Structure 1
Amino acid sequence: MKNIFALLLCVVAITATAQKTTFDIATFTVAAGWTPEIKDFAASYIKTNNVTKSWCRVTIYKSIQSSGNPLTDFNNEWKTLIVKNNWGPATTPQSETETEDGWTSHSAVSTFTFENKEAYSLLSTISGYGVEVSIVVLMNSNEYMSQIEQLLGSIHLKKPDQPIVTTQQTQPVTQSNSHSGFAITTAPGNHGIFTSTTNFDDGWVAQPFADYVRVTKNQFTVLLHYGVEITDELRASNQMEAVIFDRFILPRYNVSNIRKFEQGVCYFCVHFFEADAVEKATGKRYHLGFRIITNNGVSKCIEILSPSQVAFQQEFPNHEKVESMLNYNKFAVTVNDLAGDWDSSSGAYAQMYSTTTGAYAGMNTSSSADAFTFNTNGTYSSNHKGAFGMVGSMKFYDQKYNGALTISPWELVMTKRFDGKTSTFWAQYEAVRGGRILHLTDKEYSGSQYHLVRKN
C-alpha cells in the first residue's frame, strides 16, 4: 500500500504535454482502452479487468471559483468529493504541495472499503488564476498505475484570459441547467395583505415582495426567500446546498472569498455560506451570509447583507440568531384581507406490525379537513371533518360552527365554538409566493392550530 501511495503522490505534478483530449480548461492524454463518461460537470475515464476483478476511475471535474487559498480549496473539496461519497475519512489528511507557473496543487491519498475490499482514493486540487480544478482517482489495484501516471502527468490547464472571481460555481453541480438562476426580482408582492409592513419591537421592519420578504434594521438587510422545492435534479447533484447558493446568488452578485461553514459528520447539519459580494445592479459592496434550511422537501433560504463581517458577527453571533429571522415573515390580519373562504387538509398513516411475531397488524390512519368562511358583517362559519383509527374500524367526525367574529390585528375571537364556548386565536399571515397563509393558534389550547389558504 505504501508503494501505491508513493506512486500516486508523485504523478500529480502540473506539466504540459501535447493536447489529446480537452474538457473545460484541462487538456490531457488518455491511453487506449479507457471508457469515457462525460457529463457537464466532470469527465471520467474507467477501466476494469474482468479476470482480476480490478478497476480504476479517474475523474476530472469542471473548474470552479477558487476561494483564493489553495489549501482551503483542497480542504473544501476533500469534504465535498471524498468524505460525502465515503471515499475517505472525515479528517482531512496532510497534503503534498507543488507550485508551478502560477498553479498550486494539493494532493493526498486515502483508503476506503468497497464491496468488503480495500480500495484507494486520491484527491488532487489545482488552484490558480482565480479558478480551481479537482481530480479524483479511485482504484482497487496498482494494475493501472502506469496509465494513471501518463494521464495525470499529461494534464495542462489553460490560464483564463483574466482571473475568474465572480461567476464560477462554488461546487460541481448537476449536468442540466447548472448555470440557471432562480428568478429573484424587486417586484412588489401580490399577496393580498392589507397591512404589508410590520414594525417589530426590536427594530426590524418586514415587507413582502414577489420573491421574498425583506427585513431591514439600520445597516442590515435580510431577504427571506420563499421556499424552493427540492427536485430530483437538485438531489442528483449531491451538492444541493452549493447549487442553491449558486442559483440564488451568482445572477445578482459578483462574489469572492466564499466560505462554507464546516462541521464534519452531522445529522441536523447547518448549511451556511459567507462571501464578499458586490451587487451587480448597484455596485454596492456587502458581506453576504446565506443560510439554507430544508424541511419536508422544501428549502427556505435566508440572505443577509451586512456592511462588514465584523458587523455581521455582532448582529448574528450564532446560527440560531440567523435561523430566527424566519420568524419575521409575519403580518397582521384585517377585515379587508380576511373576508372570504379559507381551508386546509392533512393526513397521516402508519403501518403496524406485531413486536412479538413481526406479523402485519394493519394500518392506522387519520385525515382532517378544515374550512372557514369569514364575513365582513362580523360573523363566521366553519366546518371540521375527518376520520381516524385502524382501517376497517375508523371513526368519523363532522363538526359545524356558526357565530360572531371579532378581528384585531393579531387576534381573532370566535363565539359558539366547541361546547358553545368562545375561542380566542393568535392570528397572523405568512407571505408565500403568490399568496399568503393564515395561521391561527388557540390561545388556551396551543395544540389547536389551523394553517389555512384562501380559496377565492
Structure 2
Amino acid sequence: MKPILLLIACVLSLSANSFAQTTETFDIATYRPPAGWKRQEKPGAIIYATSDESKGTYALITVRASGESVGNPAQDFESDWQEFVVRQFKVNARPEIEPERTAAGWKIITGGAAFQNDLGPGAVLMSTYSGNGRKFSVSAMFNSRDHLPAIEAFASSIKLKTGPGKQLNATGENQQAQAVGNRSGAQPPVTQFAGEGYTFATSNFDDGWNAAIKSDWVEVTKGDTTVLLHYGITMTDEMRQDLSNSYWNKIAANKYTIRNLYPTNYSVLKDFPYYFVQADATEKATGKSVFVSFRVIPKNGTAYCYEIVTPTKDSFSRQFPSMDTIENLSGYNRFAIGKSDLIGSWQAGAGAFTQYYFVSSGNYAGMNITVSNLKYVFVNGTSYRTEVKAVTNNVYASEKEVGRYIVGNWDISTTDQKGKLSNFSAWFEATKGGRILHLLNKKYSSEHYLLGKDR
C-alpha cells in the first residue's frame, strides 16, 4: 500500500503508555514521539520511522520547522502541500480538503488524497496550522492501518508555542466524539500517457459542434464560434492571487491585440466567484475583429480554462446565456474508441477518509481510511482481466476477473468467467499528451471509472 502524509490535530483517548513517553521539543512544537520508532534529523525537519518487514508495512512521521504565514490558512496549506507532498514525496494527486477548523488560536486545514506507486495503493494527508504569524506542518506516511494508532497518538500530543513562554495544546480537550462526514472521491490518473497512435482525434456532435484534439487544448467549433478547452494547469500560489487575469495573461492574451478589456465579472448567485474575463480584440493570426470570453474553472488545485471566440458580444450572449452553458462545454472533450486503442493496462486509484470531530469543541478526533486500485488489462482485442485491490479498516482485499470484451466506438461490453454481462458507455477524454478512458455502467450510473494508461 502507498505512503500517507498525515498532518492532523486530533483528540483521542490514549493509553497510559502513550502519556508515559518522554516529550521532545522541535521548533515551536512539543510532542511525544512514538515509542520504538527510529529518529532521524534532517535540515529543517525531524523524522520518525518504523517498519515491519514480515508484513511489508512501514510508517513515517515528519515534523517540519515552522515558517512565516502569508496570513491565509488555505494558501499556507497549498504552499506546504506543493513543497512537502508534491516536490519532496513526488505525489501529484490533488487533496480532498476538510473545512477549516480553529483550536487554541490556530487555524487548521487538513487534506488527503489517494495515490498509486510501485508499492501499491495508498493515501496521503496533510494538516497545516496557521496562526500568530507562523505556519507549521506535521506529516505522516504509512501503508498499513497497523501504524495508525501510534500516528494519532503522536498528533494528539502536539502542543504549539503561541508566544514567548506560552504553549497551548493544538487539539483541545478530550470529549465525546461523533462522525460528521465522509469525504471521498476517485483520484485523477497520475500515470503518463502515449500522445500518438489513437484511432480518433476528432468528434462531430449531433448539435452541430465539432471537436478536434490539439497539442495544448481541444478545439471546439460551430459556425463562426471557436472554443478552446485548455488542458488542466496546476495552480500556483502566485496564480491564486488573481486567477482570472493570471491565466488570461498566461495562455490567451498574447494571441490578441486588445482594444477593450472588460472588468472581471463575479457570480452573485453562488457562494464562489466566477473567474471570467472578456475583451474586444483583434486576432493577431488572422487580423479579424472578435469578442473573446475567458473563464477559469478551478477544481482540486487544477485550473481548467475555457477560451471562447465569437464575432461579437451579442453572438456570445445568445449562445451562452449562463455560466452553466460555458461549464457544459467540457462535455465536448469526448472522443470515440478504436478496438486497438484499448490494448494495454489501464489503472485508476480511489480513496476515502472519514474524519471525526468532537461535538462540543469541533476539534479533530481521528479518522478511517479506505484506499483502492483498479486495473483493467485489455490483452488482444478480445480478452481482458481486471484486478481490484483495497484496504479498509486494516483489512486487505483483492478480487480478480477474467473474460472477453467487445468494443464499439462509444461502448464496451464485458462478459466475465461466470457469464456476467456488463455494458458500459465508453469514451476518451483528451489530456496533455494522452487520453483518459471513461467507463460508465449503463445500468448503474454511479459506477463511473476514469482510467489512465500506464503501458
Q: TM-score, normalised by structure 1?
A: 0.54
SS at match of 1:269: coil
CA contact (8 A) 1:335 1:376 kept: no
Pair 1:232–1:360, CA change in 2 (3 A)? closer
In the superposition, relative to structure 1, how do residues 220 and 404 fare at CA in structure 2: closer, same or farther (>3 Å)?
same
Aligned pair partner of 1:323 in 306, 327, 334:
327
Using the alignment, how far apart are the partners of 2:391 and 2:205 within structure 1?
40
Match of 2:252 in 1: 249
After TM superposition, list the pairs within 5 Å mapping 1:140-219 onto structure 2.
190-219=195-224
On the 8 A contact 1:190/1:210 being kept in 2, the answer is: no
1:375 aligns with 2:379: yes
Tell me how far apart the structure 2 counterparts of residues 414 and 264 of structure 1 sit (CA, whole Å).
47
Compared CA separation, residues 359 and 288, structure 1 to 2 (3 A): closer
Q: Deviations over 1:1-55 (max 9, x none)?
A: xxxxxxxxxxxxxxxxxxxxxxxxxxxxxxxxxxxxxxxxxxxxxxxxxxxxxxx
Q: Partners in 2 of 1:352 and 1:401 — Cα distance?
A: 36
* Deviation at residue 297 of structure 1 after TM alignment: 0.3
- In the TM superposition, 1:248-327 aligns within 5 A as 248-259=251-262, 260-263=264-267, 267-327=271-331
1:354, distance to aligned residue in structure 2 (A):
4.3
Q: Which residue of 1 aligns with 2:351?
A: 347
User: Aligned residue for 2:33?
Assistant: none
CA shift at 1:360, angstroms? 6.1
Residue of structure 2 equivalent to 1:403: 403
CA deviation vs aligned residue, 1:81-101 (integer Å, no higher than 9, x gap): xxxxxxxxxxxxxxxxxxxxx
SS in 2 for 1:320: helix
Asked if structure 1 preserves the Cα contact closer than 8 Å seen for 2:265 and 2:275, the reply is yes
Q: Which residue of 1 aligns with 2:421?
A: 422
Shift of 1:443: 1.0
What pairs up with 1:40-189 in 2 under 5 angstroms?
Answer: none
Secondary structure at 1:399 match in 2:
strand
Task: Give the % identical residues.
Answer: 37
After superposition, give the CA deviation of every residue in 1:52-74 in whole Å (9 maximum; x if it has no partner).
xxxxxxxxxxxxxxxxxxxxxxx
Match of 2:236 in 1: 231
**d(CA) in 2 for partners of 1:192 and 1:430?**
15
- For the 8 Å contact 1:192–1:435, the answer to whether it is kept is no
* Contact 2:403-2:415 within 8 A present in 1 as well: yes
- Counterpart of 2:397, as a letter, is Y
Q: Is the 8 A contact 2:202 2:210 kept in 1?
A: yes
Contact 1:339 1:373 in 2 (8 A): yes
Q: CA deviation at 1:348?
A: 2.9
Q: 1:378 to 1:310 in 2, by over 3 A?
A: same
What SS class does the counterpart of residue 251 from structure 1 fall into? Answer: helix
Q: Deviations over 1:196-230 (max 9, x none)?
A: 11110000000101000000111111100001110
User: How far does residue 283 in structure 1 lie from its aligned partner after superposition?
Assistant: 1.4
Q: Which has the higher relative contact order, 1 or 2, with Cα contacts under 8 A spaced 6 or more apart?
A: 2
Which ranges in structure 2 are unaligned for 5 or more consecutive residues? Answer: 1-193
Residues 217-226 or 347-356, more deviating: 347-356
CA separation of 1:356 and 1:314: change in aligned 2, threshold 3 A:
closer
CA spacing shift, 1:251–1:355, aligned 2, 3 Å: same
Q: Give, as a single letter, the amino acid of the residue that structure 1 aligns with 2:198.
A: I
- Conserved in 2, the CA contact under 8 Å of 1:191 and 1:431? no
Give the distance between the partners of 2:379 and 2:220, measured in 1 at CA. Answer: 32
The alpha carbon displacement at 1:266 in A equals: 5.5
User: Partners in 1 of 2:386 and 2:256 — Cα distance?
Assistant: 48
Task: Name the CA distance, whole Å, in 1 between partners of 2:293 and 2:378.
Answer: 41
Alpha carbons of structure 1 residues 216 and 342: separation in structure 2 relative to 1, 3 Å:
same
> Structure 1 residues 346 and 192, CA, compared in 2 at 3 Å: closer, same or farther?
farther
Q: Which has the larger radius of gyration?
A: 1
Deviations 1:252-293 (A, max 9, x none): 111122112244596222222111111112212211111111
SS at match of 1:382: strand
Equivalents in 2 of 1:379, 1:420: separation in Å? 13
Q: Does 1:220 align with 2:219?
A: no
Classify 1:192/1:348 alpha carbon distance in 2 versus 1 (closer, same or farther; 3 Å): farther
2:296 alignment partner AA: I
Moved more, 408-417 or 295-304: 408-417
Q: Is the 8 A contact 2:343 2:381 kept in 1?
A: no
Q: Structure 1 residues 442, 306: CA separation in 2 closer, same or farther (over 3 Å shift)?
A: same
Q: Distance in 1 between matches of 2:269 and 2:381?
A: 57
Q: Is the CA contact (8 Å cut-off) linking 1:192 and 1:436 kept in structure 2?
A: no
Read off the aligned partner of 1:386 and give its amino acid letter: A
Change (3 A) 1:443 1:214: same
In 2, are the aligned partners of 1:191 and 1:432 still within 8 Å (CA)?
A: no
Question: Cα distance, 1:410 vs. partner?
Answer: 0.7
Distance 1:276 1:191 in 2: 37
Relative to structure 1, is the Cα distance of residues 323 and 395 closer, same or farther in structure 2, using a 3 angstrom cutoff? same
CA distance in 2 between partners of 1:359 and 1:245 (Å) = 40
Question: What SS does the corresponding residue of 2:315 show, helix, strand or coil?
Answer: helix
Letter aligned with residue 249 of structure 2 = D
Cα RMSD for the two superposed structures: 2.2
Show the counterpart of 2:61.
none
Are residues 357 and 276 of structure 1, via their aligned partners in 2, closer, same or farther at CA, if it must alter by over 3 Å?
closer
Q: Name the counterpart of 2:36.
A: none
Q: CA deviation at 1:353?
A: 3.3
- From the superposition, tell whether residues 361 and 294 of structure 1 become closer, same or farther in structure 2 (CA, over 3 Å): closer
Q: Distance in 2 between matches of 1:424 and 1:412?
A: 6
Asked if the contact 1:383–1:400 (Cα under 8 Å) also holds between the matched residues in 2, the reply is yes
Q: How many residues align?
A: 262
Q: Which amino acid aligns with 1:197?
A: T
Provide the secondary structure at the position in 2 that maps to 1:304: strand
Does 2:448 align with 1:449? yes
- Does the 8 Å contact 1:191/1:436 carry over to 2? no
